[in-house]
Structure 1
Amino acid sequence: MRRPLLATGLAALCMAVGVPAHAWAGTSGAATSGVTTAPVVVNMEATVLAAQIDPRRADHTLTPGAKDSVLAVEQALEDLNLLDPQWVDGYFGTTTIAAYAAYQSSLGYSGLAANGLPGVTSLTKLGHNRFTVSNTIGPGAKVQRSGYVVDARTQAMLTAAERLLGYPLTLEQGSYNPGGDPTSAGTHDGGGVVDISVAGMTAAKRTAVARALRQVGFAAWVRDPSQGDWPWHIHAAAISDTDLSSQAQHQTGDYYLGLNGLANRGADDGPKVPIRTWEQYQRGH
């Protein structure tokens, strides 16, 4: 007997407020209770940063501010049967990198476009009917600097560092140079990585250049001949450049973990500054 009385009461209430009973009855429980589901938004900046740092961690510590975004990406990869449910944990480790690279390959991408770092196009496609993407970032077009190829994002970062220093910087190696320098261990194969000439610089000036580069969003170190088969130079990798080679991704991740970016994974020997990306630097100025 309760059901007819409830139905009658509902009909009367609908008539009183001017809402058709069928419209009320057709709403979901969440809607009738006044609860709405917030749209899922993936912060691309945070996700790309996690994809560089997390694979280099010795534990499963999550990258601050990235968990929800990474979870949404991992859930989408699971939906496509590219990631086992056990790895849907908000940690963008090596397994998630491999799954994302497989997804990029499934879209027909190869090379740098399938490096496991989310790009705007692939991330947007992955999010279709699942999530939207905010804080998008990208390397931009390839341009010339000091006779070498770099991407537009790296070019802007170098220009910003020069403004801080008050003098120009000269490259002795650029980006997108696969196999061009065996001593670089593949870090220059993709975008975002440059070597800067230190000819005529004092030790203090070399340190000042590395500091300025770090301030605008590079993982940068002064390199000397005792560390490898190379002359004195400054090596700089643009954090969160989505064209980074796998080796350069490892360097930027190590930089966040207080390491020197070399194969020995020693302690960072560069000037100490607050670590930030290019986008964070721009927002702070």
Structure 2
Amino acid sequence: MRLPSYAAVLVATALLTGAVEAPVAQAVDAKALPKPLPQALSNALPMALPSVDMEATIKAAQIDPRRPDNTLTPGAKASVLLVEQALRDRQLLDAKWVDGYFGTTTIAAFAKYQESLGYSGLDATGLPGKTSLTKLGTGRYTVTRILEPGARVSSDGFTINTRTQKMLAEAERLLGRDLVLSQGSYNPGGDPTSAGTHDGGGVVDISVDGMSAATRTTVARALRQVGFAAWVRNPDQGDWPWHIHAAAISDTDLSSQAQHQTGDYYLGLNGLADHGPDDGPKVTIRTWEEYQRS
């Protein structure tokens, strides 16, 4: 039997793996291509792993636990299923919960997996981080659209992360004015009225001193446009002065309480304990990454 040329095998392999498209292969002498490809070569080709879209998975992990029903987060089902199947095979999740819905049971299972890796605190809230999501998928799936909060930095004397810093800078650009923080992130127990939302990353309070009601709303709108769940807070809602509370959607360092707020924001709620309707300016909800692509 006459074996196909080395070049033909390379082209056939590239076609099967999607490395090149058919028009490229047409430049090769069709007679040199094996018809059909020898089974031995076909069997030797590596199988491409499916991929988990981290952006979609993180979005589902914020929204699904806050839903009153089992509606799936659009665009997340395939990725969530891969994660749940991996948790199931590690005996961390019962098979009946492998449904593409990243609800409280899946959150708890993922938190157990994070703990098995030696993580605790903010690193074991059940919200997947890059490292835990990638390790869980070893040999099973790859991870795309990776999210990372970045290093911790100082702003107005408060600690935030670089993702939050970039988001604030873009909001300032849109507004044409500087914003002053009255509270930052990674501040566990620093303000009891915050109910733990500032314990992790991605959450800030903005001072509104000297702002009119219209300006406060304009600032909240800009923060929402760049990917924050942001609300103007007033003294009638709690034991606090007027300020703007902003939580960076899909920050993987969010505390559990802040995750709940971002999920509520997607569901049209105000992020407070009363689960009231959203009282902020209406904008298309986007994450920071979605804003950048738009």
Does the pair score TM above 0.5?
Answer: yes
Alignment of 1:160-175 (within 5 A): 160-175=170-185
**CA-to-aligned-CA distance 1:178-225 (integer Å, 9 cap, x gap):** 000000000000000000000000000000000000000000000000
Pick aligned residue for 1:109 from 107, 119, 122 = 119
Pick aligned residue for 2:89 from 76, 79, 84 = 79
Displacement over 2 Å in runs of 4+ = 15-19, 23-28, 36-39
Q: Are positions 1:236 and 2:255 aligned together?
A: no
**CA-to-aligned-CA distance 1:244-277 (integer Å, 9 cap, x gap):** 0000000000000000000010000000000000
Q: How much has 1:115 moved relative to structure 2?
A: 1.1
Q: How much has 1:108 moved relative to structure 2?
A: 0.4
Q: Match for residue 208 of structure 2?
A: 198
Pick aligned residue for 1:129 from 109, 114, 139 = 139
Residues in 1 aligned to 2:128 and 2:176: alpha-carbon distance in whole angstroms: 35
Q: Which amino acid aligns with 1:122?
A: S
Q: Are positions 1:157 and 2:167 aligned together?
A: yes
Q: Which amino acid aligns with 1:183?
A: T
Q: Match for residue 27 of structure 2?
A: none
SS in 2 for 1:189: coil
Residues in 2 aligned to 1:25 and 1:178: alpha-carbon distance in whole angstroms: 60
Q: Match for residue 270 of structure 2?
A: 260
Q: Which structure has the larger Rg over C-alpha atoms?
A: 1
Q: How much has 1:16 moved relative to structure 2?
A: 7.2
Residues in 2 aligned to 1:39 and 1:73: alpha-carbon distance in whole angstroms: 13
Q: Match for residue 198 of structure 2?
A: 188
Q: Are positions 1:209 and 2:219 aligned together?
A: yes
Q: Match for residue 269 of structure 1?
A: 279
Could you state the TM-score of these two structures normalised by the residue count of structure 2? Answer: 0.86
Compared with structure 1, are the counterparts of its residues 48 and 18 closer, same or farther at alpha carbon in structure 2 (3 Å cutoff)? closer
Residues in 1 aligned to 2:112 and 2:151: alpha-carbon distance in whole angstroms: 25
Q: Are positions 1:49 and 2:59 aligned together?
A: yes
SS in 2 for 1:149: strand
Unaligned residue ranges in structure 1 (runs of 5+): 1-14
Q: How much has 1:39 moved relative to structure 2?
A: 2.6
Q: Which amino acid aligns with 1:133?
A: V
Could you state the TM-score of these two structures normalised by the residue count of structure 1? Answer: 0.88
Q: Match for residue 76 of structure 2?
A: 66
- Cα RMSD of the aligned pairs, angstroms, is 1.9
Pick aligned residue for 2:101 from 85, 91, 98 = 91
Q: Match for residue 250 of structure 1?
A: 260
Residues in 1 aligned to 2:39 and 2:287: alpha-carbon distance in whole angstroms: 51
SS in 1 for 2:159: strand
SS in 2 for 1:98: helix
Pick aligned residue for 1:144 from 119, 141, 154 = 154
